[in-house]
Amino acid sequence: MGLGLLREGVNEVIATTFGNAAPMGIIVRDSEARMVVFRQTHTAGRIEEYGWVVANILFDPVLYVRTAFEDLPPSSFVDITVAGIPMQHLAGAEGYVAFRASVERRTTERLMVRLEPLKEELITSEVHPVNRGFSSVIEATVHATRYLIFRDPELRVWINHHAAIVRKCGGPRELEALQLLLTYIGE
Ligand SMILES: Cc1cc2nc3c(=O)[nH]c(=O)nc-3n(C[C@H](O)[C@H](O)[C@H](O)COP(=O)(O)O)c2cc1C
């Protein structure tokens, strides 16, 4: 099957693995899908143990921030069976692609994971007008996950830059997501 719901380039989805969810980039090049996952994440451990990943497509900025920094309760996951394999997608996903995941290569820090699409489902067909506040929540969250590890002041400057765009362009959900993010990084 094709990758109809994803597109060429990097798709910033919320990846579910067994009992876990985290924002992850799914890289699609020449119709082939891969992930590069830091080995210290739960996602990497679950991929090695269970061999599947579901890419959830949704546009709730609060969920991107929450899943980047904390665990979700079991009620956030919906059980599905794909090709005989028990998997989970996120409640609230507008669509998802379920993949078989196999580790192609390992370094000390990362796993290179090959993804084979097994099933995709479009659950809703809402449209999402482009909002810079939403995009900046995603950017700020990427920087914040790194900032928590390295405490690099340059990352803090980028977070401030994106926080200003969220305040200018975001709606209530983006503002809530920003507040949560700032709490996580200790402000
Ligand atoms: C938009 C976005 C994309 C991300 N992409 C990746 C990625 O491709 N690989 C990775 O290892 N971490 C990525 N991260 C960081 C993880 O989400 C973060 O380390 C998270 O805490 C891992 O959660 P887990 O331990 O539950 O797997 C990304 C974060 C964001 C906000």
Residue 144 CA: which ligand 1 atom is closest?
31
Total Cβ atoms within 10 A of residue 73 = 6
Residues with CB under 6 A from ligand 1: 12, 20, 22-25, 35-38, 41-43, 64, 68, 138, 141-142, 145
d(CA 53, ligand 1 centre) in Å: 13
Instruction: Print burial letters for 49-72: b (CB count within 10 Å at least 16), e (below 16).
Output: eebbbbbbbbebbbbbbbbbbeeb
> What is the CATH topology of the domain spanning 9-122?
Pnp Oxidase; Chain A (2.30.110)
CATH fourth-level superfamily of 132-184: Hypothetical membrane protein ta0354_69_121. (1.20.58.290)
pLDDT level of residue 156 (50, 70, 90 thresholds): very high
Q: Is the pLDDT of residue 1 over 60?
A: no
Ligand 1, atom 13: nearest CA belongs to which residue? 24
Q: What is the mean pLDDT of residues 74-81?
A: 97
Residue 158, token pair as written in the block = 């980028």
Distance between CA atoms of residues 140 and 144, nearest Å: 6
